[in-house]
Amino acid sequence: MATLKPPTNTHRSSSSSSSHSSGPPKAPLKADPTATIADTVVFQGRHPVTIGAGTVIHPRAKFYAYEGPIVVDDGCIISEKAVIGAPPTSSRSPSPSRPASTTPTESGASTPEPRKETSTRISYFVTVGPLATVEPGAHIHSSATIEALATIRRGADIGAHSKVCSRCEIAAGGSVAEWVVVYGQGPGMRRKRARGVKGTSPAVVGAAQVAQTPLPGPAPAGKVIEDARLMVLQKEREVLGRMLVPAAGGRKK
């Protein structure tokens, strides 16, 4: 069984060995020392992959940085068999909507211009579920959740604190606003997360009286729930780090 552990020297120096291998190129990897990366994670491509502090990447996740750099910020969870980016295809033809442009040379012949880099970004505290796919050019904003088997197509923009439920698909160039839940298969249906104002509870009132401090203002119910979820995710990452790092301590690459 694959073991989760902090990034090893093999992960960090993957770019140096790519020129000596006949297989797919290994993407240059820059991982924070506090990140936890399974030894079966795949990093391929010619562009860099950056992994932030405290991020956990589970076994058999795949990162394909062929079209541009991939950035995963701090505190994220990339689950087993999730795919970030896209593998190269056998026939790399430009899409009909964006034909490859040409540049005339001195001899009069035309040469295709290099394709523009397409960066992919997963912001802070994002969870990407098992077998989910995030294609090149997508941007997942902070604290969003992409559930298992969901697909985020090219150039899609997923707002902060939003949630794309299992098996849903966000179309290429599509967007999901902040605090929105997309549910149902395929394009799915959308609803706004509850954010109505929640009154101050009697327990909070009593605590404020004992401490002789002013009462806090009413908080949106949705924000209270979201803050609690993020606290649970933080605890999950802390426990995972304590459990897995000692177990992997005896394995060196």
* 153 part of a folded domain: yes
Count structural domains, the chain.
Answer: 1
Closest CA to 80 of 170, 2, 182, 185: 2
Mean pLDDT, residues 18-38 taken together: 84
Q: What is the mean pLDDT of the chain?
A: 77
What is the CATH number for 17? 2.160.10.10
Q: What pLDDT sits at residue 194?
A: 56
Could you tell me the residue range of the domain that residue 207 belongs to? 4-88+116-248
Enclosing H/E stretch for 205: helix 202-211
Residue 97 lies in a domain: no
CA quadruple 129, 131, 135, 136: dihedral positive or negative?
positive
CA dist 240 and 238 (Å) reads 5
Q: Residue 57 and residue 81: Cα distance in Å, rounded?
A: 10
Residue 105 falls within a domain, yes or no?
no
Confidence of residue 228 (pLDDT cuts 50, 70, 90): confident
Q: Is the model more confident about 98 or about 88?
A: 88
Distance (Å, whole) CA 179 – CA 191: 9
In a domain, 106, yes or no: no
**What's the CA gap between 37 and 8, in Å, rounded?**
9
**What are the pLDDT digits (tens) for 97-144?**
344 445 555 555 555 556 689 999 999 999 999 999 999 999 999 999
Residue 194 in any domain: the answer is: yes
| Residue 15: per-residue pLDDT | 43
Q: Residue 253: what pLDDT?
A: 33
Q: What is the predicted pLDDT for the residue at 214?
A: 63
